[in-house]
Amino acid sequence: HPHTRTPPELYTVHSRQHQSPLISQSSQMENSTPYFKVASHEAKKGEFKRCLLLYSGGLDTSVMLKWIQEEYECEVVALTIDLGQTADDLPAIREKALTLGAVDAIVYDAKDEFADVLLSEAIKANADYQGGYCLSTPLGRVIISKVAVRIAKEKGCSVIAHGCTGKGNDQVRFEGYITTLDPNMKTIAPVREWGMGRDEEIEYAKKHNIPIKQKKEVPYSWDENMWGNTGEGGEVEDPKEVPKFEAILQWCNTKEKAPDAPELVKIEFFKGVPTAINGEKMKLSALIAAANKVGGKHGVGVFTVIEDRIVGLKVRGVYENPGASLLIAAHRKLEMLVSTREENRLKAILDQEWAYLTYGAKWYDPVMYHILAFTNSNNKKVTGTVTVKLYKGNIDVVAVESPNSLFKSDLATFQRNATFNQNASPGFIELWNLAQKTAFNVFDW
């Protein structure tokens, strides 16, 4: 209506997926649509005095740090969480936040908590979403949200701000988990609210003396933690284009540049969790780092996935999870050795459900507790040693041993033996085939 006043919570949001410098300002403005705050958990100006910002130190969250202070007239506490990412200078990020006006800047080391609480479950659940993605980002969002709510309460913040766009999965994960863990906590998402494209962000940064790191422009964006690295943008987005792996990969050699000789890696497990690699016992976070190093050298765990997002989009990404793929391949074979046919069949179904729930921001849904109960029960016997051969992008499990192995040589061998009663086989076959034979001869399909 022409006489209706624009509410104070109305902003302009640019419909975009990546913070790519190759997206023109004009194209962003063409896709702009009005943004209204409609959810009960979205904080509005004047409702709070202090906000916790999930701060990465990059252009977007640095602009946010200033923008929130101006737009919402509140104090900002910056929180940066260490999940084993390799690209960040965490002390420098903290100093930058304080320089930009944060009343406090916290770097929280969550590596061991991430590994011991979440990645152990990922290994036991053989984490795989739609063909090779070991769910590094969805799992990371669980621990980030958990820590953020904890720190927000400690620092007197009633609102948590994140840097997600309006087209991605992470907005669903952060806001869903934050408000699940504390229904009284509010959130703000500046990228959904403000009317800035990348050029305007850079201009805002210059105006407010926000340091901008000059770097070669690339069309890709990455998100990483110790469990994997996600590459998106550029030609990766278009399924009909061939990804330029040499430019995209950050952790792994291409298959062509991987060593010409294979390497054997031995991994020891106790109750489903890896405890040693090549005979060296270490905590899980360190073991994952070691697995990433050897796996990345041989170019394993690289997947180009055409992926179904929570919000309904079909997208493509390049995923590097060398250590995760190595550990999961080893775990899966060991688990199959110690489990019955029925257990293995049910486990495969529940593993897929676990992956879809984890991807889909449903970590705290009751059904996840039921799945985890079965997964942990089944993994009580997943103890043993697995030998894996790595060679030019391939992971081959070549040997498996366990004190709980269901392989019995006197039963399974094709050599002559007296343990397996072959006289029982014909009667078993007749009864096993009875329903199929009867149905086939009753009705002509």
**116 carries an active-site annotation:** no
**5 carries an active-site annotation:** no
In whole angstroms, what is the distance from residue 60 CA to residue 42 CA? 20
Tokens matching residue 159: 């609102």
Residue 441: how many other CB atoms lie within 10 Å? 8
In whole angstroms, what is the distance from residue 404 CA to residue 73 CA? 62
In whole angstroms, what is the distance from residue 376 CA to residue 356 CA? 18
In whole angstroms, what is the distance from residue 157 CA to residue 55 CA? 15
Residue 376 contacts by C-beta under 8 Å, 6 or more apart in sequence? 124, 272
* 228 sits in which H/E element: strand 228-233
In whole angstroms, what is the distance from residue 402 CA to residue 386 CA? 9
Nearest to 344 by CA among 320, 367, 375: 375
Q: Are 62 and 87 in contact (CB under 8 A)?
A: no
Q: Which of 182, 221, 308, 316 is catalytic?
A: 221
Q: CA dist 365 to 78, 120, 244, Å?
A: 29, 19, 38
The strand pairing partners of 79, in sequence order, are 54, 106
Sign, CA torsion 431/435/441/445: negative
Q: Are 302 and 319 in contact (CB under 8 A)?
A: yes
In whole angstroms, what is the distance from residue 237 CA to residue 16 CA? 13
Tokens matching residue 207: 């105006």
CA dihedral 383, 265, 139, 311 (to 10 degrees): -120
Q: Which of 94, 141, 192, 332 is catalytic?
A: 141
In whole angstroms, what is the distance from residue 161 CA to residue 175 CA? 9
Q: Is residue 322 exposed (0-12), middle (13-18) or buried (19+ Cβ within 10 Å)?
A: buried
Q: Which of 94, 158, 170, 285 is catalytic?
A: 170
**141 carries an active-site annotation:** yes
**416 carries an active-site annotation:** no
Angle at 145 between CA 315 and CA 169, to 5 degrees: 15
Angle at 91 between CA 90 and CA 95, to 5 degrees: 115
Q: Which of 60, 120, 145, 158 is catalytic?
A: 60
Q: Are 325 and 128 in contact (CB under 8 A)?
A: no
237 Rama sector, left if φ>0, alpha if ψ -120 to 50, beta otherwise: alpha
Residues serving a catalytic function are: 60, 141, 170, 221
